């Protein structure tokens, strides 16, 4: 029996092709379904985000989307699955893909079906041969390449891009994705966030949200409420704050401008006095959440502050009386003052705290028994401090923050001593000298005792003391300043010798004199004492006791230097006179820019040297004069009269020592005996002082006036007027030199006589020894 060839191997290859076609169709359906679903999601998202659809619209859109998704599932999955793919159809697909098969594959499948048909008119052998040939050729060949994937590429790319886009957005904005799910799938009514979100805060206050969602907080009367707003997202150019007074007030809109790209806005409600509520809007954030409701509690305040000052006795001793009921917050009083602050508050308080030194410490005050709105704070002022206060009313409202006020303690400083004379700290003196000591003392409140102390030991106790009073101490009316003068007589001073016995001063001793000034610190009254009086002791004056001839020799050497200095001044003065005469005799038409102007400047400079040189000579000769006078190197009535006159003037006048000496010398110069040493010195002192302080400055003034004349002719006239003054100056200097030379001759004569007397004494002593 002839068997029918089997086409099973061919059908297995076609079955593989069928599976591939089904898989590609499924993949394409998935992509199309994703595109459909993604398109619905994107469309619904934009519709809801742009128009914020109400619940009904979102429900309708959800139902419509579900219907479209169901149609898409039927269209892309169910219908393609019902599509029949028989072997012959697949064979035709393969042969279209591979034309070189020449219909052999389809013929083999058709011959397999026709070979058993009795009505078949074709040759069975030919059919078997065709089937065998096809099976032999195609049983191991795969036909899956006949199923092309080109129709899948575009949907797959689009679906992948859509999934990436949706996934990226959901990762970047999970809040939007979650909100979309809530609104479109779960149909919640959560709103979409606006482009602008305003975050409103009220720093410094704690609020509580009530059942209506309103944030409530309490503030004291007069408080400043700062509203800070941060704009997140799109920054609007301005904000609107809507404020409404409670109860029943009309809304008032306040516009708050922005600052460019700065997202922060700031506004202050100042000195609030009544309840109100407010909310902030800006951009598309136009809701009224959050609304803040402010309740104002009347804050306590200080209606009156009175200060009493009970000064200590050392202040009352100055004539300053106690003060009461002074209206001031800043306290200023001398140290040791009893200060009482009396506060009157506007209402009963829960607490009254005094804050000291920036809240470093506090003091709670108790109300007065007879008046619960009155408080007292009393203390003794002993240092500076700052104070403020914090009130808490019975209603719990705190007072507005108060500034800090000063409590200043005026210090009680030690007295100050300014030494006037002697000008140096070391003075050479004889045992019978009188040392003029002058000094000025000052205390910030009132002076106490003023005295001189002395000791032969710099580190001694300085127990010897002279209290200056009467004519020796001239005190100002306020008792704070005084001028002390004392003629310290060394002939009356005694010191302890090595055996602790008192003896008079002698050459070689050193005496230390110290000035003393005290205040009235110990007068404290019922405030107690802060210690003894302040006492000030500047460095002591050192008095070196020497023999008279030693001091005289030093003064003679100084006299020689001063005379040589005056000689130099005289030579400059000659040049000044020559320049002056040349300028007066010069051409009156010479311009100020020509050499005559330079000559005038040289004249002025030379005259300035003359004036300063004479002043220096005057100061130097004053030392010689004081040395002879106060050391009594020429013991005479004139010496005693001068000492008395100079000391009297010092006690009565504040003029410098040089002017006082010159005035005394001028008063006595007319009747002095120039045969005496002191008489010669008085005449020299008088002439030198007048020359240095009257004639020379007069010439300076004449040259100054000439310098103000810009016209050459006027300047010439002014210089001509100065010629007599300059001539007088030349005569005075020449007379001064003559007197100085005469004084030096006199000193030489005196020293020669003293040498002869000393020689005679020496011979006499030797003769006495020979006679014995």
Are 702 and 545 in contact by the 8 Å Cβ rule? The answer is: no
Mean pLDDT of 337-366: 89
Is residue 430 classed as helix, strand or coil in its secondary structure? coil
Confidence at residue 545, expressed as pLDDT on a 0 to 100 scale: 94
Q: What is the pLDDT of residues 260-274, one digit of tens each?
A: 788 899 999 998 888
Q: What is the pLDDT of residues 483-533, one digit of tens each?
A: 999 999 999 998 888 888 888 999 999 999 999 998 887 765 545 555 567
Mean pLDDT of 447-460: 90
Q: What is the pLDDT of residues 720-737, one digit of tens each?
A: 888 899 899 899 999 988
How large a percentage of the chain has pLDDT more than 90? 27
Measured between alpha carbons, how far apart are the two ends of the chain, in Å? 205
Confidence at residue 342, expressed as pLDDT on a 0 to 100 scale: 95
> Of 734, 737, 729, which Cα lies nearest the Cα of 576?
729
Local confidence band at 220 (pLDDT 50, 70, 90 cut-offs): confident
Confidence at residue 594, expressed as pLDDT on a 0 to 100 scale: 42
Residue 121: pLDDT over 80: no
Stated length of the chain: 772
CA 480 to CA 482: how far, in whole Å? Answer: 7
CA 28 to CA 72: how far, in whole Å? Answer: 12
Q: Is 448 or 136 the better-scoring residue by pLDDT?
A: 448
Query: How many C-alpha atoms does 78 have within 13 Å on its Cβ side?
Result: 7
Strand partners, 454: 464, 513
Local confidence band at 707 (pLDDT 50, 70, 90 cut-offs): confident
CA 705 to CA 294: how far, in whole Å? Answer: 81
Are 350 and 393 in contact by the 8 Å Cβ rule? The answer is: yes
Mean pLDDT of 551-576: 90
Q: Return mean pLDDT, the chain.
A: 83
Local confidence band at 593 (pLDDT 50, 70, 90 cut-offs): very low
Are 311 and 322 in contact by the 8 Å Cβ rule? The answer is: yes
Residue 141: pLDDT over 70: no
Confidence at residue 193, expressed as pLDDT on a 0 to 100 scale: 74
Lowest mean pLDDT among 49-53, 135-139, 638-642, 760-764: 135-139
Phi, psi of 185 (to 5 degrees): -100, -45
Residue 350: pLDDT over 80: yes
Confidence at residue 448, expressed as pLDDT on a 0 to 100 scale: 86
> Of 415, 330, 406, 382, which Cα lies nearest the Cα of 524?
382
Instruction: Dig out the tokens for 253 from the structure.
Output: 């809109």
CA 466 to CA 514: how far, in whole Å? Answer: 11
Confidence at residue 253, expressed as pLDDT on a 0 to 100 scale: 93
Q: What is the pLDDT of residues 655-695, one digit of tens each?
A: 898 888 888 888 877 777 777 888 888 888 888 899 999 99
């Amino acid at each position: 029996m002839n068997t029918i060839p089997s086409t099973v191997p061919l059908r297995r290859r076609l079955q593989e092709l069928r599976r591939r076609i089904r898989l590609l169709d499924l993949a394409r359906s998935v992509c199309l379904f994703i595109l459909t679903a993604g398109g619905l999601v994107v469309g619904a998202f934009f519709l809801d985000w742009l128009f914020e659809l109400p619940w009904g619209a979102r429900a309708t859109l959800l139902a419509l989307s579900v219907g479209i998704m169901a149609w898409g599932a039927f269209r892309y999955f169910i219908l393609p699955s019902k599509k029949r793919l028989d072997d012959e159809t697949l064979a035709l697909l393969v042969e279209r893909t591979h034309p070189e098969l020449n219909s052999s594959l389809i013929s083999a499948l058709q011959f397999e079906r026709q070979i058993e048909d009795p009505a078949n008119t074709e040759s069975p052998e030919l059919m078997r041969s065709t089937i065998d040939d096809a099976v032999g050729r195609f049983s191991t060949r795969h036909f899956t390449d006949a199923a092309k994937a080109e129709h899948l590429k575009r949907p797959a790319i689009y679906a992948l891009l859509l999934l990436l886009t949706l996934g990226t957005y959901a990762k970047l904005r999970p809040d939007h994705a979650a909100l979309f799910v809530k609104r479109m799938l779960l149909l919640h009514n959560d709103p979409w966030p606006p482009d602008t979100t305003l975050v409103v805060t009220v720093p410094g206050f704690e609020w509580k949200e009530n059942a209506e969602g309103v944030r409530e907080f309490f503030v004291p009367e007069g408080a400043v409420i700062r509203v800070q707003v941060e704009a997140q997202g799109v920054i609007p150019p301005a904000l609107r704050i809507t404020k409404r007074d409670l109860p029943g007030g009309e809304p008032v809109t306040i516009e708050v401008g922005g600052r460019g790209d700065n997202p922060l806005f700031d506004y202050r409600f100042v000195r609030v006095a009544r309840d109100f509520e407010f909310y902030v809007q800006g951009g598309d954030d136009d809701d009224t959440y959050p609304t803040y409701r402010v309740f104002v509690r009347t804050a306590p305040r200080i209606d009156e502050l009175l200060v009493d000052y009970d000064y200590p006795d050392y202040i009352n001793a100055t004539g300053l009386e106690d003060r009461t009921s002074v209206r001031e917050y800043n306290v200023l009083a001398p140290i040791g003052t009893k200060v009482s602050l009396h506060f009157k508050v506007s209402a009963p308080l829960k607490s009254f705290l005094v804050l000291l030194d920036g809240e470093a410490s506090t003091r709670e005050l108790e109300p007065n028994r007879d008046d619960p709105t009155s408080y007292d704070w009393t203390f003794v002022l002993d240092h500076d401090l700052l104070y403020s206060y914090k009130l808490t009313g019975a209603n719990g409202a705190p007072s507005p923050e108060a500034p800090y006020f000063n409590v200043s303690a005026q210090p009680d400083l030690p007295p100050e001593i300014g030494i006037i004379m002697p000008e140096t700290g070391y003075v050479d003196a004889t045992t019978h000298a009188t040392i003029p000591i002058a000094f000025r003392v000052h205390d910030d409140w009132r002076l106490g005792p003023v005295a001189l102390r002395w000791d032969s030991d710099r580190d001694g106790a300085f127990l010897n003391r002279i209290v200056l009073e009467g004519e020796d101490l001239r005190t100002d009316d306020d008792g704070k300043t005084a001028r002390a003068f004392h003629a310290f007589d060394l002939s009356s001073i005694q010191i302890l010798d090595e055996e602790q016995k008192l003896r008079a001063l002698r050459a070689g001793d050193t005496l230390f004199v110290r000035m003393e000034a005290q205040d009235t610190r110990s007068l404290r009254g019922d405030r107690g004492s802060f210690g003894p009086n302040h006492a000030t002791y500047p460095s002591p004056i050192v008095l070196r006791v020497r023999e008279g001839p030693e001091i005289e020799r030093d003064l003679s050497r100084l006299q020689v230097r001063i005379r040589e200095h005056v000689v130099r001044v005289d030579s400059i003065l000659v040049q000044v006179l020559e320049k002056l005469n040349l300028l007066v005799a010069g051409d009156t038409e010479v311009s100020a820019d020509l050499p005559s102007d330079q000559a005038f400047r040289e004249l002025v400079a030379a005259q300035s040297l003359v004036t300063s040189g004479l002043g220096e000579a005057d100061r130097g000769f004053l030392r010689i004069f004081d040395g002879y006078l106060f050391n009594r190197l020429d013991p005479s009535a004139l010496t005693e009269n001068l000492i008395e006159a100079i000391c009297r003037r010092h006690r009565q006048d504040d003029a410098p020592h040089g002017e006082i000496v010159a005035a005394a010398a001028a008063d006595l110069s007319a009747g002095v005996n120039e045969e005496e040493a002191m008489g010669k010195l008085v005449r020299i002192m008088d002439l030198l002082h007048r020359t240095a302080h009257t004639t020379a400055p007069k010439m300076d003034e004449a040259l100054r006036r000439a310098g103000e004349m810009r016209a050459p002719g006027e300047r010439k006239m002014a210089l001509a007027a100065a010629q007599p003054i300059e001539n007088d100056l030349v005569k005075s200097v020449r007379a001064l030199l003559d007197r100085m030379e005469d004084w030096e001759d006199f000193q030489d004569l005196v020293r020669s006589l003293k040498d002869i007397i000393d020689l005679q004494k020496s011979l006499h002593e030797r003769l006495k020894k020979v006679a014995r």
